[in-house]
Amino acid sequence: HGNKWFSTPNKSLIFSFFFLPEIPLKKIGIFPLLAGVSIVKGIHTITDILTGLKWPNDIMLNQKKMGGILIESRTTNKGLGLVVGIGLNVNESPDNFPKELNNKATSLFIYSGEEFKREIIISSILNEFESLYFHDWQNITSLWEKYCIHKNNTITFHNGEKFLQGEFQGITNSGYAQIKLNGEIETFPAGMITL
């Protein structure tokens, strides 16, 4: 959507990894959720800071964005391949962000006043991702909802055509948003939420 991600050398954690999942194409929407839960659990294990999730791919801390997920798929000669891209603000101070983002962005350092070793955080996130992918696939939706910061809250939803206001009910097993609009629950595969 033309958004930019600002990173600070030696302070941000920006990485991507490629893998060939052995799942049906219709389940591809679950990967942003899997990545999000892995990030929340991985950060909490190392820092004892509990971040939250905003549908579909934002990592939130203290009502501000501290990370994001971007997943792209490619068809290869070995089948469907996924690139999982993750950007996290770890050790940034407020002056590392453009002024227009100071009320919207944060970092683990801004929140806690403590610097963290980025290598340990990335290891923890990848360990969580691997564990969830191989052993806890069926619980991803409920785990994601556990960390969602806006479940049952009124949100503004932009689906590319218009802005809608409703109550965020949760997500489907495919990772689609369920939003109550005018008393009825509607399902959306994509869009942007404003809190």
pLDDT tens digit sequence for 137-194: 789 999 999 999 999 999 999 887 788 999 999 999 888 999 999 999 999 988 888 8
Are residues 83 and 71 in contact, defined by beta-carbon separation less than 8 angstroms? yes
Question: Are β-strands 64-76 and 79-89 bridged in parallel, bridged antiparallel, or unpaired?
Answer: antiparallel
Q: Tokens in use for 64?
A: 């501000």
- With b for 16 or more beta-carbon neighbours within 10 A and e for fewer, the 84-105 pattern comes to bbbbbbbbbeeebbeeeeeeeb
Is residue 135 classed as helix, strand or coil in its secondary structure?
Answer: helix
pLDDT tens digit sequence for 83-114: 999 999 999 999 999 898 889 999 999 999 99
pLDDT tens digit sequence for 1-59: 566 777 889 999 999 999 888 776 677 788 899 999 999 999 999 999 999 999 999 99
- Report the distance separating Cα 183 and Cα 174, nearest Å: 23
